Amino acid sequence: MIPGSLGFVKTPTETFETRELKLSDTSVRYQKPPVQSEVKYVLVCTKGTIGPIVRVEITFLLEVTMEHQPLRSSDIRERNEKIILNLIRSRTYLSQSEVTRLTGLRAPTAFRIFSGLETQGFIRSATVSAATEDKKGRKPQYFEVVPQAFYAFGIDFWALSATLSVCDFSGKVIYIEEHQFPSSMDVQILMDQLYALIQRAYKKAKIPKDRVLGFGIGAPGRIDLSQGLVLRYPRIAGLDNFPLGQRLSEKFGVPVYLHNNASLIALAEDRSGETEGSRSLFTFLVRSGVGGAYLEGGRAFTVLNRTAVEVGHMSLDCDGPVCSCGGRGCLEEYISEDAVLSFLPKSLNIKTFLDLDRAIETHRESILQALAESLRIFELGIRNIYTLFAPETFLIVSRSANYADLLASYLRERIGDLARIDGTPVRLVSDRYNPARIGQRAGDLVFEHFLS
């Protein structure tokens, strides 16, 4: 139990009936609204030493929905267990004394929780190098999560292919498969392909099905996160307003969590990629179309729990080419893989995107000249995004590291007038699409839901 006074707070403040629930080693105060309706409460610790980052995590993890009922001791115990599991997992290893310092839990309470988690096979003793240990006093006992305790599947797909990664509880990718789709695709073929991909992963990774917590999916187009719907993606017939999460969950009997794949790439890059540490980030994912995602404080921008930054369909030339969305002059008609190939002179003999990746190394100037209009349109797009969001950093991600670098290098010189709040220039960086990293981040969707 968390020591001290714990309050359940509803905002905005109203006149509530206040009661107090006595537990074994703490006191919980909750407020009951006079109207019979379901109300969301947030557990707030009013005593104890909690750092600012941990406070945010704890407030989020202990957010619960109640219907005129006090929080039961078993509920608090379960949430405390998940807080500790999340701390250990996020920090690789942790000691009981560190947990009591970070959370304010009493030492006997922390000991009971650690013992229970160890008995259940969720954590184990960890060997820590001497360099990281405190030289003074008795050496603390460190713990780490058991990688085999749980697993999550992370899947990223688009019009041409899908990548599936299996992650263990420590976050390590233990299995990965990239699968090319047939040239003619519709939603039924897509589902058949995904079913087969998942079934192969179960068989080849040789993991117990009862240890799989769920699937995290990075899907193209607009996504309804709460309903698990692909709202719109015209490149696969029948995928508009399609209940992808529900279909996969019914087929395999596990929870399924959807997000836009550009958002997952941005979240992955923000954690450990070229943009790590940026307070705000806008990502362009350039493939058959152009996806976009805006992150602020490590959180993806959504509207009513739906992804909203369909930057590829931002119209930048009303007299430009017709787009698959029905509009004209959309960004993806200038910088997507197929669009770029159509602008290159036949003399360069570039027929595939892989050919382009190689040709940039030897014909960079010729390619830059051929793409002059595309680069001009892209610059306009970046300036429009800056006007809307003013991100500290722009990131361009492509399957071709050379193409992403070509775009970034050219535009970096053109947008030098764009500045951050502190007056320093906005960063513009590029990176190659990393299927293992995006699969790992998709798997993290599952672990985050489990630990919340």
The strand pair at 229-232 and 222-224 is best described as antiparallel
Q: Which pLDDT belongs to residue 216?
A: 97
Amino acid at 43: L
DSSP result, 378-441: HHHHHHHHHHHH--SEEEEEES-HHHHHHHHHHHHHH-TT-B-TTSPBPEEEEEE--HHHHHHH
pLDDT, residue 54, reads 33
Q: DSSP letter string over 172-187?
A: -EEEEEEEEPPSS-BH
**Three-state SS annotation for 205-228:** HCCCHHHEEEEEEEECCEEECCCC
Which residue blocks in 63-146 are alpha helix, DSSP H?
73-91, 96-103, 107-119
Backbone angles phi, psi at 446, to 5 degrees: -70, -50
pLDDT of residue 363: 95
| Backbone CA torsion sign across 93, 125, 77, 103 | negative
Q: pLDDT of the chain along its 452 residues, tens only?
A: 333 333 333 333 333 333 333 333 333 333 333 333 333 333 333 333 333 333 333 333 333 344 445 556 677 788 889 999 999 998 888 999 999 998 888 899 999 999 999 999 999 999 876 545 555 656 788 999 999 999 999 999 999 999 999 999 999 999 999 999 998 999 999 999 999 999 999 999 999 999 999 999 999 999 999 999 999 999 999 999 999 999 999 999 999 999 999 999 999 988 876 787 789 999 999 999 999 999 999 899 999 999 989 999 999 999 999 998 889 999 999 999 999 999 999 999 999 999 999 999 999 999 999 999 999 999 999 999 999 999 999 999 999 999 999 999 999 999 999 999 899 999 999 999 998 899 999 999 999 999 98
Rounded to whole angstroms, what are the CA distances from 7 to 2, 12, 61, 266?
A: 11, 15, 15, 36
Q: What are the chain's domains?
A: 5-145 (1.10.10.10), 149-263+438-451 (3.30.420.40), 274-434 (3.30.420.40)
Angle value at C-alpha 436, between 435 and 442, nearest 5 degrees: 90
Task: State residue 73's pLDDT score.
Answer: 64
The Cα 13–Cα 10 span in angstroms is 6
Token digits of residue 221: 């187009």
In this structure, which long-range contacts are made by residues 317-325, counting pairs with CB atoms below 8 Å and at least 24 apart in sequence? 317/377, 320/377, 324/234, 324/235, 324/289, 325/234
Confidence (pLDDT) at 132: 53
Q: Are 83 and 31 in contact (CB under 8 A)?
A: no
DSSP for 265-322, written as a single string: HHHHHHHHSTTTT-SEEEEEEESSSEEEEEEETTEE-EETTEE---GGG-B--TTSPB
3-class DSSP state for residue 151? strand
User: What is the Cα–Cα distance from 374 to 388, expressed in whole angstroms?
Assistant: 21
The pLDDT value recorded for residue 418 is: 96
Neighbouring C-alpha atoms within 13 Å toward the C-beta of 223 = 25
Q: Is the dihedral of CA 243, 248, 249, 250 positive or negative?
A: positive
130 burial class (0-12, 13-18, 19+ CB within 10 angstroms)? exposed
For 34, the 3-state DSSP assignment is coil
Contact between 300 and 256 under an 8 Å Cβ cutoff? The reply is no
- Max CA-CA distance within the chain? 81
**Terminal-residue alpha carbon distance, the chain:** 17
Q: What is the pLDDT at residue 308?
A: 87
- Return the exposure string of 406-429: e unless at least 16 CB atoms fall within 10 Å of the residue's CB, then b: bbbebbbeebeebebeeeeebbbb
User: What pLDDT does residue 3 have?
Assistant: 32
**Residues 53 and 5 sit within 8 Å (Cβ to Cβ):** no
CA gap 35, 90 in Å, rounded: 40
pTM over 0.85: no
Q: What's the CA gap between 417 and 152, in Å, rounded?
A: 44
